[in-house]
């Protein structure tokens, strides 16, 4: 686990990355990786010779190391203080996980030594494979499923190699109906139909966090712009959505439909999960 000191996830004590790099976005029209992915600008990506999205390093001993760390916390009586976000700089359920099962092995360690809170964030329906482990973690876990839009044409245009809207919603529903706490991470929000989106999310999750290319990039939108997001929105005629307040309608519709307590926003929203 990596100690989390401040930063965006400032109420979490640790992050955990079973993989370094990400291959979800290979072969996209817009280069490698999700076009808005800020990780490509972090040292972990900048020090690599290959472009972000084209490489993946598996931490094959991640679960063994984690298990030892959790055992230490158990001995010290500090397991309950841990708030862990898996993962902040990769997706723990990308393709390699099908065979490598590193994330699954981490969940097995967490099952034996449950932390105060584990948030598992992914965009992949593969997480359903581990539903039995997630159920055993009960109140110690939230699953956060990234779903930036309800419009699959938008999804195809902006993140074409991401799982479909339908498959992600279906995964959320299966987890939710199994009694696992599910957060929808509309992050970053892409063009959508607010009323349809709210209807879809109401039955599929307990909580929704909305974030934007302006509030969530840590630089008031400058980082998103430097990644070419403004140009990409213009290319598809989405320019009216490229605005710091463009999330207002979706937020209001979600609050009306789901209630204020189930709808949170940006950094504060991610950090107030319990
Ligand atoms: S799936 Fe996540 S980590 Fe991978 S490129 Fe997309 S935003 Fe970045």
Strands, E, within 14-97: which ranges? 14-15, 19-21, 56-58, 83-86
**Max CA distance (Å), the chain:** 57
- Confidence check: pLDDT of 31 > 60: no
| DSSP β-bridge partners for residue 57 | 20
Pocket of ligand 1 (CB under 6 A): 22, 24-25, 33-34, 37, 39, 53, 90-91, 123
- Confidence check: pLDDT of 218 > 90: no
Q: Which of 19, 88, 105 shows the shortest CA–CA distance to 55?
A: 19
Q: Could you tell me the distance, in angstroms and rounded to a whole number, from the CA of residue 194 to the centre of ligand 1?
A: 24
DSSP-H helix ranges across 47-115: 62-76, 97-100, 102-112
Q: Could you tell me the distance, in angstroms and rounded to a whole number, from the CA of residue 22 to the centre of ligand 1?
A: 6
pLDDT over 90 percentage in the chain? 85
pLDDT for residue 25: 60
List of domains in the chain: 2-271 (3.80.30.30)
| DSSP β-bridge partners for residue 209 | 185, 264
Q: Could you tell me the distance, in angstroms and rounded to a whole number, from the CA of residue 77 to the centre of ligand 1?
A: 34
pLDDT digits (tens, 9 = 90+) for 128-169: 999 999 999 999 999 999 999 999 999 999 999 899 999 999
Average pLDDT of the chain is: 94
């Amino acid at each position: 686990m990596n100690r989390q000191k401040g930063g965006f996830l400032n109420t979490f004590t640790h992050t955990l990355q079973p993989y370094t790099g990400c291959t979800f976005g290979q072969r996209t029209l817009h280069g490698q990786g999700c076009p808005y992915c800020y990780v490509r600008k972090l040292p972990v990506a900048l020090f690599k010779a290959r472009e972000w999205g084209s490489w993946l390093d598996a931490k094959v001993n991640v679960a063994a190391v984690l298990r030892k760390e959790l055992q230490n916390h158990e001995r010290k009586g500090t397991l309950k203080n841990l708030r862990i976000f898996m993962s902040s700089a990769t997706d723990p359920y990308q393709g390699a996980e099908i065979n490598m099962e590193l994330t699954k092995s981490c969940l097995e360690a967490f099952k034996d030594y449950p932390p105060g809170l584990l948030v598992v964030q992914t965009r992949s329906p593969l997480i359903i494979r581990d539903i039995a482990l997630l159920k055993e973690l009960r109140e110690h876990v939230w699953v956060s499923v990234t779903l930036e839009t309800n419009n699959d044409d938008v999804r195809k245009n902006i993140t074409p190699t991401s799982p479909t809207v339908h498959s992600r919603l279906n995964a959320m529903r299966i987890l939710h109906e199994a009694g696992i706490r599910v957060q929808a991470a509309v992050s970053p929000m892409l063009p959508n139909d607010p009323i349809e989106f709210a209807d879809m999310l109401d039955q599929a999750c307990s909580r929704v966090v909305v974030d934007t290319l302006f509030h969530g990039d840590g630089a008031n939108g400058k980082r998103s712009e430097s990644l070419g997001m403004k140009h990409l929105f213009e290319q598809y005629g989405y320019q009216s959505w490229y605005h710091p307040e463009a999330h207002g309608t979706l937020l209001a519709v979600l609050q009306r439909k789901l209630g204020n307590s189930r709808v949170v926003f940006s950094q504060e929203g991610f950090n107030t999960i319990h």
